[in-house]
Amino acid sequence: MYSLLGKIDLDALKNAGDLAWKGMLSIFIVMALIYVLIIVLNKVTNKTAGKTISLKSILTKFTKRKTPKEPIEDTEQVASSTNNNSEN
């Protein structure tokens, strides 16, 4: 067989065919592994993130319970406390 540059090396052609299928297969394998990695990463990290948020919310609730709001008795007390705060 001849080409533009002379005789075609049949061994080179066979190698090119080998390179083509092995190359494509290898890239797909790497991509498949990366795909699995992303799925696992997304699941694990999203789960962890969810737990962190719920823990935070529990802690916030707990803190709120520990400091219950005291009923304000009269408006004069409110006014004086506001004044004190603003001075500070």
Partner 1 sequence: MDLDFLYRSFTEIFSGENWKMIVMWVIGFILIYLAIKKQLEPALLLPMGFGAILINLPFSGAIDQVLAGVLPAPGVIEWMYNVGIEASEAMPLLLFIGIGAMIDFGPLLSNPKLLFFGAAAQFGIFATVVLAVLCGFNIADAASAGIIAAADGPTSIMVGNLLKTQYLAAVIVVAYSYMALVPIIQPFAIKLVTTKKERLIRMPYNPQRVTKASKIIFPIAVTIIAGLIAPASIALVGMLMFGNLLRECGVLDMLSDVAQKTLANLVTLLLGITVAFSMKATEFIRIETLMIMGFGLFGFVMDSIGGVLFAKLINLFLPKGKKINPMVGAAGISAFPMSSRVVQKLGIEADPSNHLLMHAVSANVSGQIGSVVAGGVVLALVPLMLVGA
Applying CB under 8 A, which residues contact partner 1?
A: 3-9, 11-13, 15-24, 26-35, 37-39, 41-42, 45-46, 48-49
Residue 83 CB, shortest distance to partner 1, in Å, is 44
The 3-state DSSP class for residue 6 equals strand
Nearer to partner 1, 5 or 72 (CB): 5
From the centroid of its chain, how far is CA 75? 50
Contact 62, 68 (CB under 8 A): no
Measured between alpha carbons, how far is 18 from 33 in angstroms, rounded to an integer? 22
Nearer to partner 1, 29 or 59 (CB): 29
Residue 54 CB, shortest distance to partner 1, in Å, is 15
